[in-house]
Amino acid sequence: MASSALQQPILAPQEIRRKPLTWSRIFFRQFLKNKGALFGAIYLIIIFLVAIFAPLIAPFDPLDMHPKDMLQPPNAHYIFGTDHYGRDIFSRIVFGARISLAVGLLANVFSVALGMIIGLTAGFYGGRWDMISMRFMDMIFAFPGILLALSIIGLVGKRSLSWVMIALAIVWIPMYARLIRGSVLSAKESVYVDAARVVGVNNLRIMGRHVLPNVIAPVIVVATLCIGVAIRNAAALSFLGMGAQPPTPEWGLMLFETKQFLRLAPWVTIFPGLAILITVIAFNLLGDGLRTALDPKLKVG
């Protein structure tokens, strides 16, 4: 009978069992499809765990010297071999992970924080502050990254990892500020902000509920990519002697100390460099994966 057939729900049994389509579900589905991003994520989880549990994982103290065993190739006792002081390279790389990750994360956290203050206010309030702050950002942006970091370190006169971190953070503030300002500007144009204004929601609330979520997504993508770049740049600065000082087991510093043994003991230089390379690749893959996964989500929302 036609009428009773129309009164039946049209949903097939399997459709009733399907879970609701939320943002996070869309995100994860997209993300997991991307093999590269998966590799990146897994590697980074491993590296984070290695960094956190370094004392448990490393077979030797990274600063411990065994002069009798110096410059040994990888063997059963010393997994990655030893350096010119007889220190176990594997342990040094494990502890170096702590340092590199910390520097990469902190530099970007500072940068994002300051960039967010500038970018949010510039984008939202506009006017004079926008003009002045963006001009100022342009001026900082005019300096090539590493050179500005070098000059900050040079003019402060102190060579340490903390200053490398501060210098790198300063170098990237303009990038984040512009990025965030751009997101704020485009969010401001959107319909739901207009609607909220019409209803009478106060500015701070609008910033928090409507603008901020749109700002966070690109920031997360860029920050992920930049953590990798920060790790590499910090290593480069340490390689130049500007950052970590001996005997810190920082990956770049390890390359600096052992490059003289390139002919005799190439393994000493292979492993720290490989560590930097794979870690940066992982952050790049993760960042790319996040970008692809987060983008359509923005369109859905």
Partner 1 sequence: MLQYIGRRLLASIPTVIGVCVIVFCLMYFSPYDPAENMGHMYHLNAEQIQMLRQELRLDRPFLDQLGHWFANLARGDLGKSYLQSLPVVNMIEARMWTTLELALAGMLLATIIGLGTGIMAALNEGSIWDTFSMILALIGSAMPDFWLALMLIYLFALNLRWLPILGQGDVKHLIMPALVVGLTEAGVIARTVRSSLLEVMHDDYIRTARAKGLRERFVVTRHAMRNALIPTVTIIGINMGAVLGGVVVIEVVFAREGIGRMMVDGVLATDIPVVQGVVLLSALVFIFVNLAVDVLYAFLDPRIRLETNR
Token pair of 213 as six digits: 């979520």
90 touches partner 1 by CB under 8 A: no
| Piece of the chain touching partner 1 by CB under 8 A; list 20-28, 90-98, 202-210, 254-262 | 254-262
Task: Let me know: does 127 contact 234? Beta carbons within 8 Å.
Answer: no
- Residue from 59, 67, 73, 154 binding partner 1 (CB under 8 A): 154
What is the Cα–Cα distance from 61 to 171, expressed in whole angstroms?
34
Task: Let me know: does 298 contact 45? Beta carbons within 8 Å.
Answer: no
Q: Diameter of the chain by CA atoms?
A: 94
- Residue from 232, 253, 289, 293 binding partner 1 (CB under 8 A): 232
Task: Let me know: does 285 contact 225? Beta carbons within 8 Å.
Answer: no
Quote the least distance from Cβ 150 to partner 1, whole Å: 5
82 in helix, strand or coil? strand
- Residue from 53, 138, 162, 246 binding partner 1 (CB under 8 A): 138
Quote the least distance from Cβ 170 to partner 1, whole Å: 11
**Taking CB under 8 A as the criterion, which residues in 256-275 touch partner 1?**
259, 262-263, 266, 269-270, 272-273
The single residue listed with the structure tokens 């990274």 is: 62
Burial category of 198 from C-beta neighbours within 10 Å (exposed 0-12, middle 13-18, buried 19 and up): exposed
103 touches partner 1 by CB under 8 A: no
Residue 80, CA atoms < 13 Å, CB-side half-sphere: 23
Contact pattern from residue 233 through residue 252 relative to partner 1, giving x for each residue in contact according to CB under 8 A and a dash for the rest: --xx--xxxx---------x
Which one, 117 or 148, has the nearer CB to partner 1?
Answer: 148
The single residue listed with the structure tokens 């990519």 is: 225
Which one, 71 or 212, has the nearer CB to partner 1?
Answer: 71
- Collect all residues with Cβ–Cβ distance below 8 Å to 38 and sequence separation of at least 6: 31, 32, 289
Quote the least distance from Cβ 127 to partner 1, whole Å: 18
Nearest to 173 by CA among 234, 240, 219: 219
71 touches partner 1 by CB under 8 A: no
292 touches partner 1 by CB under 8 A: no
Token pair of 21 as six digits: 């389509």
Task: Let me know: does 219 contact 179? Beta carbons within 8 Å.
Answer: yes
88 in helix, strand or coil? strand
216 touches partner 1 by CB under 8 A: no
136 touches partner 1 by CB under 8 A: yes
Which one, 87 or 232, has the nearer CB to partner 1?
Answer: 232
Contact pattern from residue 24 through residue 53 relative to partner 1, giving x for each residue in contact according to CB under 8 A and a dash for the rest: ------------x-----------------
Site residues (CB under 8 A) for partner 1?
36, 135-136, 138-140, 142-148, 150-157, 228, 232, 235-236, 239-242, 252, 255, 259, 262-263, 266, 269-270, 272-273, 276-277, 280-281, 284-285
